[in-house]
Amino acid sequence: MTFVSHVQPRWSDMDVFGHVNHANVVTLLEEARVPVLFGEAVAAGLTDLPKGIVVVKLGVQYRAPLVPKPGRPVRVEITLTELKAATVTLGYVVRSGPDAADPVAVTAETVLAPYNTAAQRPRRLSDEESEFLKRVLADA
């Protein structure tokens, strides 16, 4: 299963050539995962996951310039590529428009760790969090 998020790039995300700037691509990835890691998680009754999760590692590969269609969101497909006791690896495919047939512009991967903000340290995923991530994001 792939979680699909549609993210609307802002005018300020573009560089002088009309491409989404590199740093803003990273922001689009963040905006794409917020609905699942915060919204869907809370709806599933998980309250600790949205309290803290940090990026441990980030990799971005540009396959083509990300030039969004005017006034239309980009499509970000998110899959779970690895799940460990204390980290989650998400894979991303970013398309230049909202449709599955739109060209792929960016592929990326983030390694995330749940984080206890009160203790200021990483923590392990609960069984419920792991099951939720597998159910919602598992790569078919």
Please check whether the domain covering 3-137 is classified as CATH 3.40.50.300: no
Short-list 57, 63, 116, 45, CA closest to 88: 57
Q: What is the mean pLDDT of residues 81-93?
A: 96
pTM of the model: 0.92
Q: What percent of the chain has pLDDT over 70?
A: 98
Identify the bridge partners of residue 5 per DSSP, sorted by sequence position.
Answer: 76
1 pLDDT tier (thresholds 50, 70, 90)? low
Residue 140: predicted pLDDT: 37
Chain CA centroid to CA 82, Å: 14
Extract the tokens encoding 36: 């699942």
Contact 25, 66 (CB under 8 A): yes
Q: What is the mean pLDDT of residues 97-124?
A: 95
Query: How far is the C-alpha of 60 from the C-alpha of 58, rounded, in Å?
Result: 7
The half-sphere exposure of 109 on its side-chain side, counting CA atoms within 13 A, is: 11
Extract the tokens encoding 81: 């590529």
Short-list 75, 140, 82, CA closest to 110: 82
Contact 132, 48 (CB under 8 A): no
130 pLDDT tier (thresholds 50, 70, 90)? very high
Residue 42: predicted pLDDT: 92
